[in-house]
Amino acid sequence: MLEPQAPPQFQDVPKPTASAGQLLIKVAACGLCHTDLGAVRRRSKEDWGDTQPPFTMGHEVAGVIEEVGQGVIGFSVGEAIAIVPLWGSCGKCPPCRRGEENFCYFLKRMIGAGMGFDGGLAEYMVVEARFAVPIGDFDPVLAAPLTDAGLTTYTAIKPALPALVPGSTAVVVGAGGLGLLAVQFLRTLTSARVIALDNDQKHLDLAKEHGADITLPSDAYSAAHIREITSGAGATFILDCVGLSATLTMGISALARLGRLTLVGAVGGLQTVPFGLDQIPWGAQLSTSLNGGTTNLREIVDLARLGRIESIVDRYPLSRVAEAYDDLEHGRLRGRAVCLPDGN
């Protein structure tokens, strides 16, 4: 990305080196995300602040360590890692100390790999060692989407786990790249009935294949269908992976008392819904969640290495990244688009 709100371009840049506290990574895979498209189109010069372009895009990154910077311990050359994409956290506040860097008290905006700093749509990149998580012998191509699509949904689901007991219902709105992983987390970690909603039958078929008990078209009757399935009680947990006024309104209509609705999708940008005693089910919680931290990424990688979750990926050489973004934007992907450096 060379300028705010301008189309990205291929550029030749020098190979970076690792400074103190950093790792130099030979990129093995970089996933693509709708956030990339939004950053290119919506962020002005003022939005980027002190992280102005130019920078290399790509925030879902996994690769192999090529150089260890001064003062870094616990990592070695040749080790495979995945990278937490949200940077800018202080590293000192209680959430950071718990490995929940995305909830840092001093993180002012969404910045990180490919979002103000050089990301993974390149042969090499550098990262602060504290944002790297070892992946062992796990395939980096499958690990890359877990750093955002997986980390975002897992972090949103985790606080709801105590309520997702037998007889409860969890709903995933949008069964694309994020939602498909969310369905798998819910199936693996809970005994709740899992319902997936989407307006693409191919996505619903994949959700059914990967653990959804029920799939429904996302339409004006979705909330009524969920109420009917739950004998009128509503869903204990709803994860909105879309983020439109229509999906949020539907989610609230389908939510049980004492239920939890968490928004992770941002397709519609800024959205609002009525909030009041007569508009929200009594005792319900409405929350947002953005990406995640190193603790949760470690847990996700362990789940993937055990075969409990599966990354569905569409592979592209880096030279075809424009085509990959176009397929992402127009809904032609089966799973998550992942770019591999040419020659891999």
CA–CA distances in Å: residue 107 to residues 101, 104, 300 = 9, 5, 23
**CA distances for 299 relative to 22, 118, 219, 242, 296, angstroms:** 23, 26, 34, 25, 5
According to the model, what pLDDT value does residue 63 have?
Answer: 98
Identify the structural domains of the chain with CATH numbers, from first to last. 22-147+292-340 (3.90.180.10), 152-288 (3.40.50.720)
Assess whether pLDDT exceeds 90 at residue 230.
yes
- Residues 64 and 28: their CA atoms lie apart, in Å, by 7
Backbone angles phi, psi at 290, to 5 degrees: -130, 115
Average pLDDT over residues 122-151: 97
* Confidence (pLDDT) at 39: 67
> pLDDT digits over 213-222, tens only?
999 999 999 9
pTM greater than 0.85: yes
Task: Give pLDDT tens digits for 5-51.
Answer: 667 777 888 999 999 999 999 999 999 988 777 666 656 766 667 67
Distance between CA atoms of residues 173 and 151, nearest Å:
17
Q: Give the per-residue pLDDT at 338.
A: 96
Calculate mean pLDDT across residues 181-209: 97
Mean pLDDT, rounded, for 279-305: 96
- pLDDT of 108 reads 85
CA-CA distances (angstroms) from residue 3 to 44, 47, 122, 338? 9, 12, 18, 24
**Per residue in 40-87, pLDDT tens?**
665 676 666 767 778 899 999 999 999 999 999 999 999 999 999 999
Percent of the chain with pLDDT over 70: 93
Q: How confident is the model at residue 304, as a pLDDT?
A: 97
Strands 193-198 and 169-173: parallel
Number of other CB atoms surrounding residue 126 within 10 Å = 18
Which pLDDT belongs to residue 334? 83
What is the structure's pLDDT at 175?
94
Residue 280: pLDDT above 90? yes
At 335 the pLDDT is 82
What token pair was written down for 158? 């985790």
Question: What's the mean pLDDT in 85-90?
Answer: 94
Average pLDDT, the chain: 92
